[in-house]
Amino acid sequence: MKTIEIDFPYLIFAYQDDCQDNKYYLDTEFGDIRLVHRQLDDLRDLTDEIELSVNRFLYIPKASRQKLLADLQIFADSLENNDIKRILLVAFDSPHVLEAFKKILSSCPDLYNQLETFLYEQSKKEVLAWLKANAIAPTSLSPNS
């Protein structure tokens, strides 16, 4: 198992980023996270570096839509307020379920924060499992990580 220092909140952000144009790579030597996007000024240099060091850079996968939907269902089911629960169930009919959830919960800051924390923790479990499967351990996880 290789131990490296990783900006864990940024790694979670990269994992949760659903923009198809954004690709992220973890530098397994230094722990840096590299964004590859076709509109970056240094795109050629960055892709050359990644291609020349394929054993050093690891593609960071995106969270699957099915996992997100399952997590949102778990969150909705955990709520005690049946009115909010009913409204959130309607959000599953939206093509942008997460955005619909956030819009619905925007009028309830405590629930909105609970959703953000819940999704972060769910993603954290997935990312830690992915790191372990790739024989990588972060040096430490801060309390906010």
Q: At CA 111, angle to CA 110 and CA 115, rounded to 5?
A: 120
- In tens, the pLDDT along 6-56 reads 999 999 999 999 888 888 999 999 999 988 876 655 555 666 666 767 688
- In tens, the pLDDT along 136-145 reads 998 866 444 4
Quote the pTM value: 0.81
Q: What is the mean pLDDT of the chain?
A: 87
> In which residue are the tokens 């970056």 written?
40
Could you tell me which of 70, 75, 78 has the C-alpha nearest to residue 117? 75
- In tens, the pLDDT along 60-82 reads 999 899 999 999 999 999 999 89
CB-count exposure of residue 126 (10 Å: 0-12, 13-18, 19+) = middle
